[in-house]
Chain A
Amino acid sequence: MDKGSETKAHGRREPQEDGPATSVSRRSFLRGVGLAAGAAAVPIHLPAGAATGTEGGVGPGPFKYSLKINGATKAIEAEPRLTLLDVLRDRLDMTGTKRVCDRGACGACTVMVDGESVCSCMLLALDARDREIRTIEGLARPDGTLDAVQEAFVEHDALQCGFCTPGLIVRSRAFLNENPHPTLEEIKQGLSGNICRCGTYTHIFAAVLAASQKEA
């Protein structure tokens, strides 16, 4: 990917100095993976403390960097192959973000990155450096006051088992930021990346409509 276009697309700032290898590009990362995979009979894993970067790339061993999540800076030491979802759930114990399909088809792992909703299972955690990550845990105010979307989900019983709920709420929040006064049809389209198995959609639509009206 061309770095310039990426910067433009995401409003992304230049990466800051952060750990021993300073300029990870997706190209160099992929090259690293290719090398490891090429030596198939040799285990892909390298033990902790092994090489952490060559030729301006990183991996496959653990790598130190930091992420800005819900306004706080979190120090990470992890293999570059970990997705943002892996890091949130398995390294930071931030388990409000759910793993369901693990390949971008269901929206359960949705978080906001620089204000845009993304599937955290489809984003390498490294690529989220220097970007503002907001998860379900960071949606309510510090005093515990719920976001209007969360409040409306409670009021309209827009959940059953609740496992799709964090992803749907984060997506609904991002969607209302994009389109503060949607029609029902726009809501259906706007939430189409999220799957709920229990079957709560019509209550979700009502909740999103109510939240948008409340914020009008």
Chain B
Amino acid sequence: MATTTPRNRVAIENDGNRVDARAKVTGAAKYSYDVNLPNMVYGTFIRSPFAEAKLVSKNLEAARGIPGVLAVEFTGETAEYAGQDVGYVCAETPQLIQDAIAALQMKWEHGTPTTNFRRAAGRLPELQAEEQAKLDATLAKAAHTAEMYLETQVQHHVSLEVHGCVADYKGDHAVVYASTQGTTSFRDGITGDLGLDKSAVEVRCEFIGGGFGSKFGPGIEGKLACTLSKRFNRPCKVFLDRKEESIDSGMRPGSRQYYLLAMDEKGKILGGRNHVWGQVGVRPRGGNVRVVGYDLGDLIRSHVDVSTSQCPPRPQRAPGWPQGMFALDSIFDEAAKACGLDPIQFRMINDPNPVRREQYELAAREIGWDRRKADGAETGVIRRGLGIGAAEWHNQGFAPASVEIRVYPDGRVDVFSATQDIGTATKTLFVDLVANHMKVPRELVTAKLGSSSYPGGPASGGSVVARSVAPRALHAADLATEGILTLVAKETGQSAESLAVRDGAVVKKADGAKVMGWAEACKLIGSDHLSVTGTDVEKYRGEGNSEGVCAAEVEVDTETGVVKVKKLVVIQACGLPVSRKASESQIVGGAIQGLGFALLEEKILNEANGASVNPNMEWYKLPGPADMPEIIPILHHPEGYTGVRSLGEPPIIGVPGAIANAVANAIGARVTSLPITPAKVLAALQV
């Protein structure tokens, strides 16, 4: 079983383990949900069980009369979606909170929610006359066309650590232990609730149990913890339970996507039409999709968001991309078929990206594309198929950040940034970059992240962290080295420019002769420490981008409709790859989440009352161990990719399309909506 691929060579060559792995395997890692403070109280929300609902009666006195219940307050009596908050409870224990909510004996009535997205979306809108004329002209030139509606579902983030925080208000300042992807964005969202200036609030998040885009701000839960902590002058813990997490912490919006593609006789896309309906929550926004830079000719694009009775979406790993690429890669395979072309041939004609063109060939070799038969050529009960999908990431711009390095007299090196490690191994990235650049042993370097009091770093979103902090860390590393060399130069009467650090020792540049060991050199710092701060310096940015290709092999049981993914080859560029093991993990994680999106996951609403049917982890189907295919993660490092670039989000993007295309190849019929369930497979087979 290939789980790590020796062929993955990284620029900074090491097989180092994730630096916080020991804390995580021993249970010593303290997540914010694990923080228990003396004299702590607990808070939670009172929520509507239905959409379009109105509270008709409650027994406030019964709830408030329970000894140990500190507050029961209502902030509203109506709800647009099931799970919307209408009040809150504060009590001495988590159990008392539940007692208080039960004692309220709330009675609700509800209207008719909007749960049928397809009905709400309606028909394809007419084009303006000018656009219609353009489309007609494109179609007039076309030798082949492909037309299809494709749909994607609403997906939950299912962060294993639920949303919340422990707020510790102390009068003139506050420390808040938050489960967050942005210590500074979280802080900026709670200063009003605490009545404190930014400088008096520290948000800490040393470990976080998943976020995937849903944990940028404090949310209502973070604000409630702060309000209650201030009100009772005691630490307050507010974390959602699993049901609340499912129904009110964001989601990946669903979509319906219309495509009409027109090709010339050689298979070159001339243009066509694409219309996207985004299935969003009660506010009509956030439902558009994203696609890679295929050359789509004169494609006329339009988009509209359609509100449904559920919580608003939040970004979820590569927002808009997996849904967009599932649809585009699906219509691409149909278009290829219409032109009588192999799917990879068709992409070579219509995908101008030179890096991805290399990756298609690599993917074809790795998956054994020459075994691929024509769609539907398999005839047995179990039918095999192969499919391909594409990914990329927009590496535009660098988020504001600065990185502090402190070198201590004993030779240790600490690297500080307010950014957080959300499981993407950001700490490990810092350690590998700094140790490699300063030429000191990895064991001496520690990354201190996850406090809003550290030098500013970006939120873990848009895959900006690695590419934004890396240049600053390299700059700081050079400044730190210069600082040490200056001390050594002064001590030994040579010029700092004539010295360098190599293999953990200060040496003469000219002949490599050792001047003194690293630890000895650091003693020259004196009793304190040397501190430098890296900022945005052009020369450390480097070049690069994050293209990717996924190839999938599936087996479809035509009697049961069950799809089994057998193998996923996921090729991903990320500029300059740094930590090999962690980078491979990031790709494998994208592959598995993409598999879940393609085959299993779906939030289902009760059409009558808008309640979620599956707000838990047994009826909301996540990929589990038994669903696992063989996964080959390939770090692609094209020539000229010299700067660290995004790797967090892109590996999920190409997977759903590749799997959908492999299923269509296996059974000769296309399932046009995700997830590809057994029922939909059987319907496509018309059995």
| Count of chain B residues with a beta carbon within 8 Å of a chain A beta carbon | 72
Q: Are A159 and B99 in contact (CB under 8 A)?
A: no
Q: Are A161 and B26 in contact (CB under 8 A)?
A: no
Interface hit among B263-271, B371-379, B484-492, B578-586: B578-586
Q: Are A162 and B423 in contact (CB under 8 A)?
A: yes
Q: CA of A79 to CA of B98 in the docked complex: distance in angstroms?
A: 14
Q: Is the interface of A mostly helix, strand, loop or mixed?
A: loop
Q: Which of A103, A196, A202, A209 has the most CB of B within 10 A?
A: A202
Q: CA of A29 to CA of B28 in the docked complex: distance in angstroms?
A: 34
Q: Are A153 and B589 in contact (CB under 8 A)?
A: no
Cβ of B631 < 8 Å from any Cβ of A? Answer: yes
List B155-175 residues whose CB lies under 8 Å from chain A: 158-162
List A16-73 residues whose CB lies under 8 Å from chain B: 40-41, 43-45, 47
Q: Which A-B residue pairs are the 8 nearest by beta carbons?
A: A96-B27, A163-B209, A199-B592, A161-B423, A162-B24, A95-B34, A199-B589, A136-B27
Q: Please, could you name 13 A-B residue pairs with CB atoms under 8 Å apart, sorted by A?
A: A79-B95, A90-B93, A93-B36, A96-B26, A99-B33, A137-B27, A146-B26, A163-B210, A184-B1, A191-B625, A202-B3, A202-B588, A203-B588
Q: Are B4 and A156 in contact (CB under 8 A)?
A: yes
A100-B160, A206-B1 in contact; A192/B625 too (CB < 8 A)? yes
Chain B nearest Cβ from A75, distance in angstroms = 18
Q: CA of A209 to CA of B626 in the docked complex: distance in angstroms?
A: 16
Q: Which residue of B lies closest to A164 (CB)?
A: B160
On chain A, the residues within 8 Å of B4 by CB distance are 156-157, 203, 206
Q: Are A197 and B210 in contact (CB under 8 A)?
A: yes
A105-B617, A157-B582 in contact; A44/B26 too (CB < 8 A)? no
Q: Which residue of B lies closest to A82 (CB)?
A: B95
A-B pairs with beta carbons under 8 A, tally: 205
Q: Which residue of B lies closest to A41 (CB)?
A: B62
Chain B nearest Cβ from A152, distance in angstroms = 9
Interface string of A122-163 (1 = CB under 8 A from B): 000000000000011101100000100010011111011111
Q: CA of A155 to CA of B16 in the docked complex: distance in angstroms?
A: 9
Q: Which residue of A lies closest to B15 (CB)?
A: A155
Q: CA of A89 to CA of B23 in the docked complex: distance in angstroms?
A: 17
Cβ of A212 < 8 Å from any Cβ of B? Answer: no
B residues in contact (CB < 8 Å) with A: 1, 3-4, 17-18, 20-31, 33-34, 36, 59, 62, 65-68, 93-96, 99, 102-103, 105, 158-162, 207-210, 212, 241-242, 422-425, 581-582, 584-586, 588-593, 616-618, 622-626, 628, 630-631
Cβ of A116 < 8 Å from any Cβ of B? Answer: no
A residues in contact (CB < 8 Å) with B: 40-41, 43-45, 47, 79, 81-82, 86, 89-90, 93-103, 105-106, 108, 135-137, 139-140, 146, 150, 153-157, 159-166, 169, 184, 187-189, 191-192, 194-206, 209
On chain A, the residues within 8 Å of B624 by CB distance are 192, 194-195, 201
Q: Are A201 and B242 in contact (CB under 8 A)?
A: no
Q: CA of A162 to CA of B158 in the docked complex: distance in angstroms?
A: 14
Q: Are A160 and B628 in contact (CB under 8 A)?
A: no
On chain A, the residues within 8 Å of B425 by CB distance are 160
Q: CA of A209 to CA of B625 in the docked complex: distance in angstroms?
A: 14
Q: Are B21 and A159 in contact (CB under 8 A)?
A: yes
State which of B30, B589, B618 has its C-beta within 8 Å of the C-beta of A198. B589
On chain B, the residues within 8 Å of A82 by CB distance are 95
